[in-house]
């Protein structure tokens, strides 16, 4: 429950950042465009996992089929029994961000690997959440994706 609340707060922070003139027009996503660590708890940055990402690092072998990808940035924090990942990807236009979000949402809703897929219409039309069951080491994953303008945030 705490993870969901933190993820939702970070997603909300990203939406607010997108709405501030000048920030959305930035030439490349930087640490300034991603939210800082949650205020509660003792979070530590995972520097080895934080930084700029390429399309291949995000989409793997399907990177060449992702049209309009511009750039991306990821920040990772570790806390007591939790890891928080905040990724922002920018596209060359609102159209390509919408296409990528639609493709991602469609794949997530059809995937049997997720324990739950849920659209978040009260949050925004372009948001969904997936929850994955615990894997072999007992880790569970909960992700919220939000599309705003030419960007997609994944928390």
pLDDT, residue 146, reads 94
Domains of the chain: total: 1
What pLDDT sits at residue 21? 38
Position of tokens 């995000």? Answer: 58
* Mean pLDDT, contiguous 10-residue spans, the chain (155 residues): 43 42 46 73 86 90 89 89 89 94 92 90 89 85 92 92
At residue 15, the pLDDT reads 42
Domain that holds residue 25: 2-154
Whichever domain contains 82, its CATH number is 3.40.1000
Given the structure tokens 């399907």, which residue do they identify? 62
* 83, 137 Cβ separation under 8 angstroms: no
pLDDT recorded at residue 143: 93
Extract long-range pairs of 107-110: CB within 8 Å, 24+ residues apart: 108/145
Torsion (CA) 8, 98, 121, 12 in degrees, nearest 10 = 20
pLDDT on residue 151: 92
Q: What is the pLDDT of residue 98?
A: 94
What integer pLDDT is reported at residue 31 of this predicted model?
A: 64
């Amino acid at each position: 429950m705490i993870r969901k609340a933190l993820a939702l707060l970070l997603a909300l922070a990203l939406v607010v950042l997108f709405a501030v003139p000048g920030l959305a027009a930035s030439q490349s996503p930087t640490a300034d465009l991603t939210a800082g660590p949650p205020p509660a708890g003792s979070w530590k940055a995972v520097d080895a996992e934080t930084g700029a990402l390429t399309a291949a690092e995000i989409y793997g072998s399907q990177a060449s089929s992702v049209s309009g990808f511009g750039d991306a940035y990821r920040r990772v924090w570790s806390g007591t029994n939790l890891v928080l990942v905040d990724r922002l990807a920018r596209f060359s236009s609102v159209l390509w961000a919408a296409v990528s979000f639609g493709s991602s949402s469609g794949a997530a809703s059809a995937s049997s690997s997720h324990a739950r897929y849920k659209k978040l219409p009260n949050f925004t039309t372009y948001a969904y959440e997936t929850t994955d069951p615990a894997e072999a080491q007992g880790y569970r994953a909960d992700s919220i994706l939000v599309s705003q303008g030419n960007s997609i945030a994944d928390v």
